Amino acid sequence: MKRFLYFKERIRSFSYAFQGVRTLFSETPNARIHVVIIALVIVLGFWLHISRMEWIAVCILFGVVPATEALNSAIEKLADFACGGRIHPSIKKAKDLAAAAVLLTAIASVVAGALIFLPKLIELFVE
């Protein structure tokens, strides 16, 4: 019986995580922008026949950027709740740092995308 309850709780924890994914994409406009960019990168990746290692890098970034967006959104929600809508300097710093995490991962993704796709696009259009 204990083993059954253990697995039932694990399954329930996945449902909470999926609810978080739904919340992220329904309530966070930037997360929806990330999805559009991910879809475009997938199409571009197939079109340009990127390598397996390039796909691995791209897929990791597909997870990292939305994950930091989710953490940023969680920190913002908690901070807003804790402050009751007032702006406290420490809370502002926490929110700015969380937003910086998203920005830094997005910049890293753009750089990685440029390193993967630009040479292929240049080769395609120069020939």
pLDDT, one tens digit per residue, over 19-55 is 999 999 999 999 999 999 999 999 999 999 999 999 9
Each residue's pLDDT tens digit, 75-90: 999 999 988 878 889 9
**Which amino acid is located at 18 in the chain?**
F
Domains of the chain and CATH, by start: 30-126 (1.10.287.3610)
Q: Report the share of the chain in percent with pLDDT over 90.
A: 78
Q: Which residue, chain included where needed, has tokens 């978080």?
A: 20
pTM, entire model: 0.86
**Contact between 71 and 101 (Cβ < 8 Å):** yes
Residue 63, pLDDT score: 96
Res. 96: pLDDT tops 90: yes
The answer on pLDDT for 1 being more than 80 is: no
The pLDDT value recorded for residue 101 is: 97
pLDDT number for residue 120: 95
Interatomic CA distance for residues 70 and 102, integer angstroms: 9
